[in-house]
Amino acid sequence: MADSGLWVGILTALTALGASYITARATSRAALAQARTTTTAAALRDQRDRRRTTYRAMMDCAHAYNEVTWQIDDVDAARDRVAKDRILTRMYERIGPAIANMNKATHEVRLDGPAEVSAAAEEVRQTARRVQPLLKALIGDESGERRDDYDAAYRDFRDAYLAFVGLARQALEVQDEAD
């Protein structure tokens, strides 16, 4: 009887040790899973914040660019060719730095991605660059043809910019895991 009591005690101790080991392992795995989840969530939050900042910088550059191109209304309102050319020259002088800033912002968007947003930012940059020589061609021009080219290029820029904004917004949306 004492022998069987010893075996029952040993089995009970071994069962307790096994249960303790299994519990410790499960607790360790749960803690590791929670740490990974927390780290991943923090990394995603940091990525989203970085992208938001980068996209806003790109949008700020596009807005500064637009402030230059919107002065075309002042050109239309000017009474004589000298006044028109003065405004156009000032616009042309200001558009270069605006595009340079947009170039920098585009490079930042390329780093932060994702690829489709990077491609959209590049399209914004390229369409902005196409407007610049067309703006210069308006200085001293009396024909309406060059103005039509300028307006078409600006519309292309605006469309590219709106596409960028839409893709940037999608990239920043938080997706529900149940979807």
68-74: average pLDDT: 92
- The reported pLDDT for the residue numbered 42 is 80
- The reported pLDDT for the residue numbered 12 is 80
Residue 178 confidence (pLDDT) above 50: no
- If one compares 26 and 75, the residue with the highest pLDDT of the two is 75
pLDDT, averaged across the chain: 87
**Percent with pLDDT over 90 in the chain:** 57
48-70: average pLDDT: 93
CA–CA separation, 140 vs 51, rounded Å? 42
Residue 168 confidence (pLDDT) above 70: yes
Sign of the C-alpha dihedral, residues 83, 86, 92, 94? negative
Q: What is the pLDDT of residues 3-38, one digit of tens each?
A: 777 777 777 877 877 778 788 787 878 877 787 888
Domain locations along the chain: 50-172
83-87: average pLDDT: 93
pTM of the full structure: 0.75
* Geometric angle at alpha carbon 149, from 59 and 96, rounded to 5°: 45
Q: What is the pLDDT of residues 90-136, one digit of tens each?
A: 999 999 999 999 999 999 999 888 999 999 999 999 999 999 999 99
* Structure confidence at residue 174 as a pLDDT band (50, 70, 90): low
In sequence order, what DSSP letters do the residues of the chain get, joined into one string? -HHHHHHHHHHHHHHHHHHHHHHHHHHHHHHHHHHHHHHHHHHHHHHHHHHHHHHHHHHHHHHHHHHHHTTHHHHHH-SSHHHHHHHHHHHHHHHHHHHHHHHHHHHHHHHH--HHHHHHHHHHHHHHHHHHHHHHHHTT---SHHHHHHHHHHHHHHHHHHHHHHHHHHHHSPPPTT-
